[in-house]
């Protein structure tokens, strides 16, 4: 997995935004993660703790907002969550679908002092 690369990116983005506002310390980070986007596991926190040590983000807490996948059938307008066995529209079995949510992977906000 690639939790180290993800932790590095989060740190770079957060520190850049915090310094842009002359903040002294980052206390919290809010990460939005769709179910179909990045796969990160508990080792992210481990990498984060190591990487952020000695930076203005030391000790900051990572908060995750997980967004479920929501699909929209372009034929009948049905919104639905895909099941583990099927992606197709449960109402009309169309394959014409649009992914409404679930592909997000971004840093939404930080809290600073």
Partner 1 sequence: MPNRIPVVEKILSANDRLAAENRARFDAAGVFAINIMASPGAGKTSLIEKTVAALKDRLRIGMINGDIATSFDADRAAAAGAAAVQINTGGDCHLDAVMLQSALPQLDLSALDLVIVENVGNLVCPAEFALGTHKSILVASIPEGDDKPYKYPGMYRGVDAVVINKIDLLPYVPFRLDFFKKGIEALNPGVTQFELSCRTGEGLEPWLNWLLAQA
Binding footprint of Zn ion on the chain (CB under 5 A): 73, 75-76, 78, 89, 91-92, 94
Q: Restricting to residues 11-50, which ones interact with partner 1 according to CB under 8 A?
A: 12-14, 17-18, 21, 23, 27-28, 31, 36-39
What contacts 24+ positions apart, CB below 8 Å, involve 73-81?
A: 73/97, 74/98
Buried b (16+ CB within 10 A) or exposed e, 80-107: bebeeeeebbeeeeeeebeeebbebeee
Among 15, 72, 99, 101, binds partner 1 (CB under 8 A): 99
Work out what residue 75 binds among partner 1, Zn ion, none; the CB cut-off runs from 5 to 8 Å by kind: Zn ion
CB of 26 to partner 1, least distance (A): 9
Q: Does position 57 bind partner 1 by CB under 8 A?
A: no
Under 8 Å between Cβ of 92 and 73: yes
């Amino acid at each position: 997995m690639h939790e180290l690369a993800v932790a590095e990116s989060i740190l770079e983005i957060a520190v850049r935004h915090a310094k842009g506002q002359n903040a002294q310390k980052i206390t919290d980070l809010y990460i939005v993660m769709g179910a179909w986007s990045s796969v990160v596991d508990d080792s992210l926190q481990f990498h984060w703790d190591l990487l952020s040590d000695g930076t203005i983000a030391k000790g900051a807490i990572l908060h995750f907002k997980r967004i479920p996948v929501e699909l929209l059938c372009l034929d009948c307008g049905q919104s639905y969550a895909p099941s583990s066995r099927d992606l197709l529209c449960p109402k009309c079995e169309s394959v014409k679908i649009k992914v409404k949510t679930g592909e997000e992977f971004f840093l939404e906000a930080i809290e600073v002092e």
